[in-house]
Amino acid sequence: SAVISQKPSRDICQRGTSLTIQCQVDSQVTMMFWYRQQPGQSLTLIATANQGSEATYESGFVIDKFPISRPNLTFSTLTVSNMSPEDSSIYLCSVRSNTGELFFGEGSRLTVL
């Protein structure tokens, strides 16, 4: 198993500002995944963060809006840029185990006013 720490756990932000979410894993992993769950919606993959290369974004998500850093094998950040109320969501980072299931952080609940 992996222990994943995320911060902040929650925040209330003003429209137009940006917020960076940090994710720390207790072991080295090749890929880290960033998910979002908007209210009433399913958990949706934003991007895959690979160490030493640019993140791979899913359809509908772009680097300018969600820049990601992956400076080493245990850490990643996701920035939500120029926030609007539609960005109010729970953001989760995760890693995959050897048997395929995902381990998640506890999530960062963002409210944008």
- Give the footprint of another protein on this chain (CB under 8 A): 4, 40-45, 92, 96-97, 99-107
Shortest distance in whole angstroms from residue 76 CB to another protein: 16
Q: Which is nearer to another protein, 47 or 83 (CB)?
A: 47
Kindly state the smallest distance separating residue 2's Cβ from another protein, in Å: 10
Give the long-range contacts of residues 102-107, CB within 8 A, separation 24 or more. Answer: 102/33, 103/1, 103/2, 103/3, 103/4, 104/4, 104/35, 105/4, 105/5, 105/6, 105/23, 106/4, 106/6, 106/9, 107/6, 107/9
36 in helix, strand or coil?
strand
Give whichever of 18 and 97 is closer to another protein, judged by the CB atom: 97
Q: C-beta of 15: minimal distance to another protein in Å?
A: 26
Q: Min. distance of Cβ 20 from another protein in angstroms?
A: 20
Q: Of 81 and 103, which CB lies nearer to another protein in the complex structure?
A: 103
Closer to another protein by CB, 92 or 112: give it: 92
